């Protein structure tokens, strides 16, 4: 579903996981001359718990930077007076290291290189999926040390900064693949996910209908996550796939 000229994703702006950003409300500045994009991002990010400020051009952006002191910036390349590339250059020349996610409708390699060389930390081409923008913001904030993200469902907690997993206070030791599988479920609780979707998300390709690899890893994960007296959280939905939800 297209929300605006540059944004696609769930229309209600709900976060795709039960993640918690610790350190209070993270401040984000959205700079875009398209009002529809600004308002869509403002709505979605506020629903995620961010404190959002907006700017429609370069001069407003520079003024707002001094006022709100954001911890991350979403910046469109083509904003006027000055444009996004020049804003990046000015900030980096001043020694400002605030993470910058650059947005653009241009998807040529040289355009991406120009943005990164100007000082952007990441680059996202319009139209983009809202969930991808959220994930890129979380990654930038983790790398900058501004936040700690904890995913929670029922009594399971995953700290994505330290990669530690707990259930009801006990430590769960997972392999890399098991961790990636659990993270996928925690980011999409209550959502039935097909074998194909899980294969593509965790392994990057589909093993095909004859493979039992997913069943094996689900069994491994259940064995570590669910002790004898704990309710099952990863449910099998016959003919459809798997879902993270509590038993009724």
Instruction: Please state which of the four CATH numbers 3.40.220.10, 1.10.1270.20, 3.30.470.20, 1.10.10.10 is assigned to the domain occupying 149-244.
Output: 1.10.10.10
Taking alpha carbons only, the member of 116, 121, 124 closest to residue 143 is 121
Residue 40 above 70 pLDDT?
yes
**Percent over 90 (pLDDT), the chain:** 54
What would the pLDDT profile of 17-27 be if each residue is shown by its tens digit?
A: 444 444 346 89
What pLDDT does residue 98 have?
Answer: 93
7-146 and 149-244 have identical folds: no
- Whole-model pTM over 0.75: no
User: Residue 214: CB partners within 8 Å, gap ≥ 6?
Assistant: 195, 198, 199, 207
Domain boundaries, the chain: 7-146, 149-244
DSSP per-residue codes, 156-174: EEEETTTTEEEETTEEE--
Per-residue pLDDT band at 146 (split at 50, 70, 90): low
Burial (CB < 10 A; 0-12, 13-18, 19+), residue 66, is exposed
What pLDDT does residue 148 have?
Answer: 63
HSE (CB half, 13 Å, CA atoms) of 125?
7
160 backbone dihedrals φ, ψ, rounded to 5°? -75, -10
What would the pLDDT profile of 190-218 be if each residue is shown by its tens digit?
A: 999 999 989 888 887 777 777 888 999 99
Q: How far apart are CA 246 and CA 189, in angstroms?
A: 10
CATH architecture of 7-146: 3-Layer(aba) Sandwich (3.40)
């Amino acid at each position: 579903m297209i929300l605006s000229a540059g944004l696609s994703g769930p229309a209600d702006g709900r976060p795709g996981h039960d993640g918690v950003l610790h350190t209070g409300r993270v401040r984000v500045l959205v700079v875009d001359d398209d009002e529809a994009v600004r308002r869509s991002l403002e709505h979605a990010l506020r629903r995620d718990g961010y404190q959002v400020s907006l700017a429609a051009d370069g001069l407003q952006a520079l003024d707002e930077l001094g006022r709100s002191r954001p911890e991350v910036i979403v910046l469109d390349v083509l904003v006027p007076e000055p444009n996004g590339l020049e804003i990046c250059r000015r900030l980096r020349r001043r020694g400002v290291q605030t993470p910058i996610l650059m947005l653009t409708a241009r998807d040529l390699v040289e355009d991406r290189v120009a943005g990164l060389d100007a000082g952007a930390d990441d680059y996202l081409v319009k139209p983009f999926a809202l969930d991808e923008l959220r994930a890129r913001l979380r990654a930038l904030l983790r790398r900058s040390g501004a936040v700690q993200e904890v995913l929670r469902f029922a009594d399971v907690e995953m700290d994505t900064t330290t990669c530690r997993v707990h259930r009801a206070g006990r430590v769960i030791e997972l392999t890399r693949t098991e961790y990636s599988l659990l993270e996928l479920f925690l980011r999409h609780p209550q959502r039935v996910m097909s074998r194909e979707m899980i294969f593509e998300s965790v392994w990057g390709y589909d093993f095909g209908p004859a493979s039992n690899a997913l069943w094996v890893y689900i069994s491994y994960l259940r064995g570590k996550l669910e002790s004898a007296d704990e309710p099952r959280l990863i449910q099998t939905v016959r003919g459809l796939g798997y879902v993270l939800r509590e038993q009724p």
